[in-house]
A and B are shown apart, each in its own frame.
With several copies, the nearest count.
Chain A
Amino acid sequence: MEGDKKMKIMNMVNALNDAFDIELKDDKNVVIYGEDVGVEGGVFRVTEGLQKKYGKERVFDSPLAESAIVGTAVGMAAAGLRPVVEMQFSGFAYPAFNQIISHAARMRNRSRGRYQTPIVIRMPYGGGINALEHHSESMEAIYGHMPGVKVVIPSTPHDAKGLMISAIESNDTVIFMEPKRIYRAIKQEVSEDKFSIPIGKANVISSGTDITVVAYGSMVREVQKAMVLAKEAGISVELIDLRSIYPIDRDTIAASVKKTGRIVTVTESPKSFGVASEITQIVNEEAFLNLEAPPARVTGFDTIVPLPKGEHHYLISPEKIFYEIEKTVKY
């Protein structure tokens, strides 16, 4: 869906900012707000410059209250606006949990389609930035389990832009989780034009024959590092970037495992009841007879992400991914 390509080197922060810029320009109903997103442009500078360009009515700072940020967005959306709101960190989205699950996710169902809630709830997530407690969480599975929302997690600047444009233009509520650890770490050429990437379709980043690896967000890059080790070991990996965990692209996962017979899912979240288990369930349902090894998972532990000095224990290293890939291939 890419237009005429005026390409520019962007990191994810630039790419998201560009998506907002385009949407603010194209649709007067788009408003952006949250804690410190206006004057300052967000603690990660993702919305920098937008208030200056579009004014205080459209891009603004709110009081410090996450439930209110989402709850007012539900009202605005029912009345016709398209709010893009920020939870400063995913670990601070919990006060808004009730508004997300009980309203943003349900207003259309409750009103039998009469009202809709085209809200994007942005939240930087994940570890690896040497942060205080609550600043490193990956709790995407709880949103995946929540009927009525979509959950999008980009892994590159290009994807971030295309998915964000889709998210803003979607008439559903989208939880948009941003892998803050790679906000500025990955740079690539991204079209300056408006383009969108459909939500719900996975991206086969590289095809391979020995094993399928499923990841998303910041873990994609770690898997790519692990693939260097795998290659050295003569293992051909098919890497699938989910892009969204709900809707989840069963078909792409199933097709891949039918080919490779083996699968490892990599997520940063706590282990139990996480996204990996769902992937395992799906491949059991769709490709049981093709399985040559138990679908495996590389995840965090069922623990709180430790403070920086202990975080290396929790974080997933390329070696650990490779370790699991090798074990699964050798099974």
Chain B
Amino acid sequence: MFKEYDPIEDKMFNIIDDKGVVVNKKWMPKLSDEQIVKAYKDMLFARTADLQIVSYQRQGRIYTYPPNYGQEAIAGAVGAIMRDEDWLVPAFREMGAYLAKGVTLKEIFLYFMGYEDGSLFKGAKNILPMSVPIASQYLHAAGIGYEIKYNKKDQVVYAFVGDGGTSEGDFHEALNFAGVWNVPVVFIVQNNQYGISTPFKVQTASKNIAIKSVAYGIEGIKVDGNDYFAMYAAVENVTKLAKEGKGPFLIEAVTYRKGAHTTSDDPTKYRTKEEEEDWDKKDPLDRLRAFLIAKKLWTVKEEEKLVSQYKKEVDRQFEEAENYPAYPLDDAFQFLYEEMPDDLKKQKFEHEKFLQWKETRK
């Protein structure tokens, strides 16, 4: 696969075209109809939730949120392959992978409503909390990879970053360490063409991102990230190889951030309508839907029904999150150290004294 789609020649791996027609039979993954339908449903659920959140945000019911809109196939494919025992090291724009891990929408809501409790991920194993400092999490992934190898575990790490993140030194150091250590980490770059307002060509003069694997002696591949099957096939392939001890891999998933960077961003400032429309034609859900409809596995009506059902579910979880208990003072203090140092206890105590004083003044 890596020879056939050599990033040095800037080749991109894809399987279906923009109309959902399979153009690369050789690599079409062996998926049952049910699996494909489930994949589509998962993506649809993620998209429904994502779009809802943006509207909650407009209503002032949640803070800044980074939409996944248009990038769902990437996290979807990883989510379908990743097992409970595998590790997910997320950035912040891969909701489908969180959900696949067992994170609930409610938790995601809690996080963006401003509760650290949203990172508890009670039903999910082996997933790190969202990492805000760009690319820094890639090193954590390499370290987890080391632990897996050290303890000879049957696990793989899936780590995410954006195209902007590839410019950070930590990106380089992580791939370099993982390469030297030869650890089972799949490094996925969601190249959505922008880092906030900054276009890909300002991030790097390199032909593509997959090619950067060469610098670390590892394999890399550039994949059409809006093509669910291509993403699935690529992730499946490197997962198998990683389990065999064939080391880390770099997947560049080419996609487009159809929404704003976050709800406080306005993309019209830095990109054109034409560009957006060009990418609309490659929408990952449209493409997979077309595939399914052609195979008579899906109908528009079914989709409508499902979406309204999903919306209700999203609303339900959102309301649960909105009714989450108030944030206790203790929670601001208790997780810094295993045992709270005396000084910190004193700080809390003094603050409580102030709060009492404030109470009495009312």
- Where the two chains meet, the residues of A that have a C-beta atom closer than 8 Å to any C-beta of B are 31, 35-36, 39-40, 43, 57, 61-68, 70-81, 83, 91-92, 94-95, 98-99, 102-103, 107-116, 130-135, 147-148, 150, 170-172, 200, 246-248, 250-251, 271-272, 301-304, 306-311, 313-314, 319-320, 323
A68-B142, A76-B146, A79-B143 are known contacts. Are A306 and B344 too (CB-CB below 8 A)?
A: no
A40 and B119 CA atoms in complex are apart in Å by 31
Q: Are A103 and B115 in contact (CB under 8 A)?
A: no
- Where the two chains meet, the residues of B that have a C-beta atom closer than 8 Å to any C-beta of A are 63-64, 87, 89, 111, 113-117, 119-121, 128-129, 131-136, 138-148, 150-151, 164-165, 167-170, 173-174, 176-177, 180, 195-198, 202-204, 264-265, 269-270, 326-327, 329, 331-338, 341-344, 346-348, 351, 354, 357-358, 361
Q: Are B150 and A31 in contact (CB under 8 A)?
A: yes
List chain B residues, Cβ under 8 A from A130: 63-64, 114
Nearest B-chain residue to A134, judged by Cβ: B132
Nearest A-chain residue to B163, judged by Cβ: A64
Q: Are A250 and B196 in contact (CB under 8 A)?
A: no
A40-B269, A68-B139 are known contacts. Are A95 and B148 too (CB-CB below 8 A)?
A: no
Q: Are A272 and B343 in contact (CB under 8 A)?
A: yes
Nearest B-chain residue to A44, judged by Cβ: B264
Q: Are A302 and B87 in contact (CB under 8 A)?
A: no
Q: Are A301 and B116 in contact (CB under 8 A)?
A: no
Q: Are B114 and A35 in contact (CB under 8 A)?
A: no
List chain B residues, Cβ under 8 A from A43: 196, 264-265
Q: Are A67 and B173 in contact (CB under 8 A)?
A: yes
Q: Are A313 and B203 in contact (CB under 8 A)?
A: no
Give the tally of cross-chain contacts (CB within 8 A). Answer: 248
A98-B136, A109-B335, A148-B337 are known contacts. Are A75 and B144 too (CB-CB below 8 A)?
A: yes
Q: Are A148 and B64 in contact (CB under 8 A)?
A: no
Q: Are A63 and B116 in contact (CB under 8 A)?
A: no
Q: Are B147 and A79 in contact (CB under 8 A)?
A: yes
The 8 closest A-B pairs by CB, nearest first: A75-B143, A71-B139, A308-B114, A72-B143, A247-B341, A75-B140, A68-B173, A63-B167
A71 and B140 CA atoms in complex are apart in Å by 6
Q: Are A68 and B140 in contact (CB under 8 A)?
A: no
Q: Are A319 and B358 in contact (CB under 8 A)?
A: yes
Q: Are B331 and A250 in contact (CB under 8 A)?
A: no
A78 and B119 CA atoms in complex are apart in Å by 14
Q: Are B136 and A71 in contact (CB under 8 A)?
A: yes
Nearest A-chain residue to B335, judged by Cβ: A109
List chain A residues, Cβ under 8 A from B197: 36, 39-40, 61
A-B contact pairs, 16 of them (CB 8 A): A61-B198, A65-B173, A68-B139, A68-B173, A68-B174, A75-B141, A91-B133, A99-B136, A103-B133, A112-B117, A115-B129, A134-B133, A247-B343, A307-B115, A310-B332, A319-B361
Nearest A-chain residue to B141, judged by Cβ: A75
List chain A residues, Cβ under 8 A from B348: 301
Nearest B-chain residue to A105, judged by Cβ: B336
Interchain CB contact (< 8 A) of A311 among B113, B114, B151, B169: B114
List chain B residues, Cβ under 8 A from A66: 168
List chain B residues, Cβ under 8 A from A306: 116, 327, 331-332
Q: Are B129 and A35 in contact (CB under 8 A)?
A: no
Interchain CB contact (< 8 A) of B132 among A71, A133, A302, A313: A133
Q: Are A148 and B336 in contact (CB under 8 A)?
A: yes
A35 and B143 CA atoms in complex are apart in Å by 16
Nearest A-chain residue to B139, judged by Cβ: A71
A36-B198, A40-B197, A303-B344 are known contacts. Are A320 and B354 too (CB-CB below 8 A)?
A: yes
Q: Are B333 and A301 in contact (CB under 8 A)?
A: yes
A147 and B343 CA atoms in complex are apart in Å by 12
A308 and B65 CA atoms in complex are apart in Å by 13
List chain B residues, Cβ under 8 A from A319: 354, 358, 361
A112 and B197 CA atoms in complex are apart in Å by 33
A107 and B337 CA atoms in complex are apart in Å by 10
Min C-beta distance of A310 to chain B, whole Å = 4
Interchain CB contact (< 8 A) of A251 among B89, B131, B342: B342
List chain B residues, Cβ under 8 A from A148: 336-337
List chain B residues, Cβ under 8 A from A150: 337
Q: Are A63 and B336 in contact (CB under 8 A)?
A: no
A27 and B200 CA atoms in complex are apart in Å by 31
A66 and B173 CA atoms in complex are apart in Å by 9
Q: Are A303 and B333 in contact (CB under 8 A)?
A: yes
Interchain CB contact (< 8 A) of A310 among B129, B142, B327: B327
A40-B196, A67-B173, A78-B140 are known contacts. Are A114 and B332 too (CB-CB below 8 A)?
A: no
Q: Are B168 and A95 in contact (CB under 8 A)?
A: yes
Q: Are A79 and B144 in contact (CB under 8 A)?
A: yes
Min C-beta distance of B145 to chain A, whole Å = 8
A108 and B119 CA atoms in complex are apart in Å by 11
List chain A residues, Cβ under 8 A from B146: 72, 75-76, 81
Interchain CB contact (< 8 A) of A67 among B139, B150, B264: B139
List chain A residues, Cβ under 8 A from B196: 35-36, 40, 43
Interchain CB contact (< 8 A) of B202 among A63, A102, A113: A63
A40-B269, A57-B150, A301-B333 are known contacts. Are A65 and B176 too (CB-CB below 8 A)?
A: yes
Q: Are A131 and B347 in contact (CB under 8 A)?
A: no
Min C-beta distance of B355 to chain A, whole Å = 9
A131-B64, A133-B132 are known contacts. Are A103 and B140 too (CB-CB below 8 A)?
A: yes
A65-B176, A78-B128, A301-B344 are known contacts. Are A39 and B133 too (CB-CB below 8 A)?
A: no
Nearest B-chain residue to A313, judged by Cβ: B332
Kindly list 11 other residue pairs between chains A and B, CB separation below 8 angstroms, not including A103-B140, A301-B351: A63-B173, A64-B167, A68-B174, A71-B138, A75-B147, A76-B147, A103-B131, A103-B136, A130-B114, A301-B332, A301-B348
Interchain CB contact (< 8 A) of A72 among B132, B142, B334: B142
Q: Are A112 and B164 in contact (CB under 8 A)?
A: no
Min C-beta distance of A300 to chain B, whole Å = 9
A148 and B332 CA atoms in complex are apart in Å by 12
Q: Are B338 and A74 in contact (CB under 8 A)?
A: no
List chain A residues, Cβ under 8 A from B134: 64, 92
List chain B residues, Cβ under 8 A from A40: 196-197, 269-270
A56 and B28 CA atoms in complex are apart in Å by 42
Nearest A-chain residue to B150, judged by Cβ: A57
